[in-house]
Amino acid sequence: MDYSIVAKEIIEKIGGVNNVSSVIHCMTRLRFTLKDESIVNDDQVKKIKGVMGVMKKGGQYQIIIGNEVSKCYKEVLKLGNFSDSANNTESSNEKQNIITKVLDVVSGSMSATMPAIIGAGMVKVLVVLLTTIGLLSNTSQTYTILSALGDATFYFLPMILVISTSKKFNINPYTFAAVIGVMVYPDFVKLLGAGSPVSFIGLPVTTASYGYSVIPVILMAWVMKYIEEIVDKITPAVTKNFLKPMLILLIAMPIAIIVIGPLGFLVGKGLSTVMYTIQDKANWIALPLMAAFMPLIVMTGMHWAFVPMALTALANPGYETLLLVAMLPSNLAQGASALAVSLKSKNKDLKQVASASSISALLAGVTEPAMYGVTIKYKKPLIASMIASGIAGLYAGIVALKVYVFATPALISIVQFIDPNGSSNFINALITAAIAIVGSFALTWIIGFDDPANEESEESLIENKMEVKEAALDKAETKSEAIILTPIEGKSVSLSQVNDITFSEEIMGKGAAIIPSKGIAVSPVNGVISALFETKHAIGITAEDGTEILIHIGLDTVKLGGKHFTAHVKSGDKVKIGDLLVEFDIEAIKREGYEVITPVLVTNSSDYKDVLSLIDKDVKEKDELIKVIM
């Protein structure tokens, strides 16, 4: 294949030389950092002869070429004076405004928590339904336990977020959990709630509640990244095992409880003061503002700052006119927007998430699943729901809508708007709800959103195309076969479990993957080292029988530049079964934020009748792993 032609077509289709900030390559793909990804038509790139696929990951536009990627890379370099820096951070994200960037970070951090949030939201719906129809008493132990199941995910959301934010900011999740754990530790919560001034080494600690919080955790994760880098530089190598984590905790904890944590609380408190001042002067202005911006208030966890004031109002004069009233159109608008997305989307996963979260918001007023799984993530539904909620809030303010019972506003609990003394208040609540639901649904449908089904994101196209059982190997009727042994001790799994379309879709060839338990790779065959990438993370071997094998240690580990890898062979070396190829530090690679799952591929699979693999079992070096049917 003439890669000079392929390279020219690639550069043309990705927006020309001027749209390329940098380019590097790994064992299988070209990795471009583009100035503006939005101008690239993925379909046109995929149609280029010699291109196997396209992937967007880690801020890079990755074009899958295959074994000949180095040839294509050389031709690409001839077309422009490109930087080959893997650390080039210039991308289309720089053209986003600050609000979009913040929403991207929040939705990215929240996406992994969706199963827990959706599950807990549906449990809360169940509790509301059972108590409403009289099958469950709110004084029973069953009610208490089910409520705990529904509430725990939200109260301990900061701890759950530690997992996803650690990955997003590439920090140690365990030390970060230790820091965030202080903010929800019972004794610390009790200390803040005692009513007396609290200080740490003479510095004041602001009284705040961190249950349900999101933004403080994300901000702290960002700060933690710099703390870890600084401490790593100042601690001597011989003390890193014990001194480094201790210093990180001692530095990060005060920052968390004295600066970062209270910051969100103070913002919410200031917002509360402003909103209630506006309410006193013009309720018809306060309510639409509160209703429209309620998703952003909930996102900070600061809607709870309004709760004490709401409870006081319900005690005297007996009704509340701001927080719970504003939450009615906001909750329903979020649910209606998610419902519109579920009906309009062609993406199966999004339809499931959106439909479940819409039920949670509409019936129980639990909006976190809808917010973090749908509206914030896809942005346009958020705008639609905020506009509709604001309009409904305007109506509620004009008619001076009141709420008489403290409960999360939703369709099931809307009876809380019934006036014990009799009035048209409940009718006005129904009208407010109708405006929010119909308006948000219609606006979301009209404005639309970027449906993942149309974006063709490779990361969402991972399918389970290969699941060969051990019995298949035993029953295979063959005349000739080649055996590839296990190069790394660990657990063998299907390629479909690899979070990279190049491997999961078998673009580079059939085989299996190994989740390593030992950082040593040995030769699985007798043959010759046909390729050893300079970053040492990938090894190509040509067996004596002509089978071409690729061992790719980890995902995206090319970015490590050889760090944590030690090669014991070089290209052209002859190897025998069991010869040491590469040593790698599993834990260090994980700490850098990379997966260590290792695909083992037969890259010339098309030359054979079939390639069968032993998966879902613990394997040791030189155990039988792959059988090639000649």
SS (H, E, C) 253-295: HHHHHHHHHHHHHHHHHHHHHHHHHHHHHCHHHHHHHHHHHHH
Q: Is residue 83 part of a domain?
A: no
Range ranked top by mean pLDDT from 94-108, 229-243, 450-464, 516-530? 516-530
Please tell me the pTM assigned to this model: 0.45
| pLDDT the model gives residue 577 | 93
Q: Is residue 590 part of a domain?
A: yes
559, pLDDT greater than 70? yes
| pLDDT the model gives residue 458 | 40
| pLDDT the model gives residue 415 | 81
In terms of phi and psi (left: phi > 0; alpha: psi -120 to 50; beta: otherwise), the region of 590 is alpha
Stronger pLDDT, 504 or 212, i.e. the higher one: 504
Q: Is residue 250 part of a domain?
A: yes
Using the 3D structure, point to which of 253, 272, 291 is the last residue of a domain.
272
Tell me the mean pLDDT in the region 165-192.
89
| pLDDT the model gives residue 300 | 58
CATH of the domain at 583: 2.70.70.10
Stronger pLDDT, 319 or 385, i.e. the higher one: 385
292, pLDDT greater than 90? yes
pLDDT bracket for residue 527 (50, 70, 90)? very high
Catalytic residue of the set 10, 26, 128, 495: 26
Mean pLDDT of the chain: 82
Q: Residue 83 carries which DSSP code?
A: B
Using the 3D structure, point to which of 50, 78, 106 is the last residue of a domain.
78
Q: Is residue 383 part of a domain?
A: yes
Residues 430 and 415: their CA atoms lie apart, in Å, by 10
**Does 314 lie in the same domain as 426?**
yes
| pLDDT the model gives residue 51 | 82
**Does 424 lie in the same domain as 369?**
yes
**Does 133 lie in the same domain as 55?**
no
Q: Is residue 472 part of a domain?
A: no
pLDDT bracket for residue 473 (50, 70, 90)? very low
Stronger pLDDT, 506 or 392, i.e. the higher one: 392
470, pLDDT greater than 70? no
Stronger pLDDT, 191 or 452, i.e. the higher one: 191
| pLDDT the model gives residue 390 | 95
Q: What are 154-164's pLDDT values in tens digits?
A: 788 889 889 88
**Does 268 lie in the same domain as 305?**
no
Tell me the mean pLDDT in the region 305-329.
77
Using the 3D structure, point to which of 242, 272, 302 is the last residue of a domain.
272
Tell me the mean pLDDT in the region 254-264.
87
| pLDDT the model gives residue 249 | 95
CATH of the domain at 24: 3.30.1360.60
DSSP states of 397-464: HHTT--B-S-S--SSTTGGGG--TT--SHHHHHHHHHHHHHHHHHHHHHHH----HHHHT-GGG----
H helix or E strand, kind and range, residue 40? none
| pLDDT the model gives residue 468 | 41
User: Does 72 participate in catalysis according to the annotation?
Assistant: no
pLDDT bracket for residue 302 (50, 70, 90)? low
**Does 233 lie in the same domain as 321?**
no
DSSP states of 320-333: B-SHHHHHHHHHHH
| pLDDT the model gives residue 308 | 54
Q: Is residue 38 part of a domain?
A: yes
Stronger pLDDT, 354 or 302, i.e. the higher one: 354
Q: Is residue 431 part of a domain?
A: yes
**Does 508 lie in the same domain as 412?**
no
Residues 613 and 468: their CA atoms lie apart, in Å, by 6
205, pLDDT greater than 70? yes
598, pLDDT greater than 70? yes
Residues composing the chain: 630
**Does 321 lie in the same domain as 223?**
no
367, pLDDT greater than 90? no
Residues 96 and 86: their CA atoms lie apart, in Å, by 22
Total domain count, the chain:
4
**Does 265 lie in the same domain as 364?**
no
**Does 131 lie in the same domain as 267?**
yes
Stronger pLDDT, 142 or 134, i.e. the higher one: 142
**Does 252 lie in the same domain as 113?**
yes
Range ranked top by mean pLDDT from 20-34, 357-371, 548-562? 548-562
pLDDT bracket for residue 569 (50, 70, 90)? very high
Tell me the mean pLDDT in the region 69-91.
67
**Does 176 lie in the same domain as 60?**
no
Q: Which domain holds residue 601?
A: 479-627
| pLDDT the model gives residue 477 | 43
**Does 177 lie in the same domain as 204?**
yes
pLDDT bracket for residue 125 (50, 70, 90)? low
| pLDDT the model gives residue 163 | 87
Q: Is residue 603 part of a domain?
A: yes
| pLDDT the model gives residue 246 | 94
